[in-house]
């Protein structure tokens, strides 16, 4: 007597144990290692390129068919496959690998993903298709900028894709993924080989780099901050403005930029984007013939970002900003210089 547990207590303990067990296991089906759900049937996978929450691949699932929009690099493939597996999908169910453009943080892993997903078709802008069929020029271009060692470390070897598996998608091209229709828009400005993909079902647009970069680290109570990206070598501010206006004209409830993840309140973001773009162009033109042009433009860009971040309620120090955005500041300055020289 006394050593025997009260049957009611026993039942409660068991009951709580069962509840906890079910909770943990049910939650596990929703918890993805590298991805998060951002809309019905849309997942944002962190490709692991660069740093956490920098480079996304979006996985769209509809009627047991899957598509990736951008795929990171070769080294991202295990994360993409892991996400498929966690959603009980196989690589054979991947119908499409869609590239917003062929810059290597978006398309570097395309050949590898096409190898791993044998039933997939590659969807790419007509200007990008030949670089996916024969990626040697694309890689040589990157080696020219970053050097062989860095390219090997960041991207590895780029696998060519059989031309019969490459579909060129220009303005108005429709991708059918199960019941879902995805519509391509030709959106130059960041690159001439850039498409955006409109998903009427979620009323969202996969914008690649056209609608800029939006890092979650800069989110405030006012919402997200977004900044134009002007990386070499095809930055064209007039075309970029037009592309952003066209995307906004669809009245999307959100955009899915590759850097990084879903953001809402598109009209507000468009204003922030276009204001900065105008300021960037004006600043760059004012330094067009200056000595130390690179340093002046880079510092001018940091001024513009700092100012707009403050307006958006983010009081990051100048030092932290220059550290966090070091690569963006460098690449954006380089791209603006290329544009200035072309304009000359
Ligand atoms: Zn990018």
Query: For residue 146, how far is its CA from the centre of ligand 1 (angstroms)?
Result: 16
pLDDT band at 47 (very low <50, low <70, confident <90, very high): very high
- pLDDT surpassing 70 at residue 18: no
The CATH class for the domain spanning 31-266 reads alpha beta
Query: For residue 235, how far is its CA from the centre of ligand 1 (angstroms)?
Result: 13
For residues 218-229, give the mean pLDDT.
Answer: 96
- When the pLDDT of each residue in the chain is averaged and rounded to a whole number, the result is 93
Give residue limits of the domains in the chain.
31-266
Query: For residue 190, how far is its CA from the centre of ligand 1 (angstroms)?
Result: 9
Query: For residue 327, how far is its CA from the centre of ligand 1 (angstroms)?
Result: 12
Query: For residue 163, how far is its CA from the centre of ligand 1 (angstroms)?
Result: 24
Query: For residue 156, how far is its CA from the centre of ligand 1 (angstroms)?
Result: 17
- pLDDT surpassing 70 at residue 27: no
Taking only the tens place, the pLDDT of each residue in 299-315 is: 999 999 999 999 999 99
- pLDDT surpassing 70 at residue 10: no
Query: For residue 319, how far is its CA from the centre of ligand 1 (angstroms)?
Result: 24
Query: For residue 208, how far is its CA from the centre of ligand 1 (angstroms)?
Result: 7
Give yes or no for a contact between 210 and 244, defined as CB atoms under 8 angstroms apart: yes
For residues 136-141, give the mean pLDDT.
Answer: 94
Query: For residue 70, how far is its CA from the centre of ligand 1 (angstroms)?
Result: 10
Query: For residue 12, how far is its CA from the centre of ligand 1 (angstroms)?
Result: 53
Query: For residue 315, how far is its CA from the centre of ligand 1 (angstroms)?
Result: 25
Query: For residue 106, how far is its CA from the centre of ligand 1 (angstroms)?
Result: 6
Query: For residue 280, how far is its CA from the centre of ligand 1 (angstroms)?
Result: 19
For residues 187-214, give the mean pLDDT.
Answer: 98
pLDDT band at 95 (very low <50, low <70, confident <90, very high): very high
Query: For residue 29, how far is its CA from the centre of ligand 1 (angstroms)?
Result: 30
Predicted TM-score (pTM) of this structure: 0.90
Query: For residue 192, how far is its CA from the centre of ligand 1 (angstroms)?
Result: 14
For residues 48-57, give the mean pLDDT.
Answer: 96
pLDDT band at 343 (very low <50, low <70, confident <90, very high): confident
Q: Look at residue 81 in the predicted model and tell me its pLDDT.
A: 98
């Amino acid at each position: 007597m006394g050593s025997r547990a009260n049957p009611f207590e026993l039942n409660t303990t068991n009951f709580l144990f069962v509840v906890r067990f079910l909770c943990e296991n049910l939650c596990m089906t929703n918890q993805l290692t590298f991805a998060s759900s951002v809309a019905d049937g849309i997942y944002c996978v962190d490709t692991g390129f660069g740093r956490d929450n920098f480079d996304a691949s979006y996985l769209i699932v509809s009627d047991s068919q899957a598509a990736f929009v951008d795929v990171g690099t070769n080294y991202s493939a295990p994360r993409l496959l892991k996400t498929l597996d966690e959603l009980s999908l196989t690589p054979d169910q991947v119908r499409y690998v869609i590239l917003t453009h062929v810059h290597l943080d978006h398309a570097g892993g395309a050949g590898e993903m096409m190898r791993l997903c044998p039933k997939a078709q590659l969807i790419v802008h007509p200007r990008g298709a030949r670089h996916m069929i024969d990626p040697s020029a694309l890689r040589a271009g990157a080696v020219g900028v970053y050097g062989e060692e860095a390219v090997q470390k960041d991207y590895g070897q780029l696998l060519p894709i059989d031309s019969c598996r490459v579909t060129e998608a220009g303005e108005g091209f429709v991708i059918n993924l199960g019941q879902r229709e995805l519509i391509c828009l030709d959106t130059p400005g960041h690159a001439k080989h850039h498409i955006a993909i409109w998903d009427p079902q979620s009323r969202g647009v996969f914008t690649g780099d056209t609608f800029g970069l939006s890092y979650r680290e800069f989110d405030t109570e006012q919402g997200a901050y977004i900044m134009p990206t002007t990386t070499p070598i095809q930055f064209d501010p007039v075309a970029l403005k037009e592309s952003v206006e066209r995307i906004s004209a669809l009245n999307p409830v959100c955009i899915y930029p590759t850097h990084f993840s879903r953001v809402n309140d598109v009209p507000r973001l468009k204003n922030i984007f276009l204001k900065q773009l105008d300021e960037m162009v004006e600043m760059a033109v004012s330094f067009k013939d200056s000595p130390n042009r690179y340093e002046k433009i880079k510092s001018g860009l940091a001024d513009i970002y700092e100012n707009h971040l403050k307006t958006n309620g983010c009081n990051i120090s100048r030092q932290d900003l220059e550290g966090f955005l070091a690569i963006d500041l460098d690449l954006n300055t380089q791209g603006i210089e290329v544009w200035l020289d072309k304009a000359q």
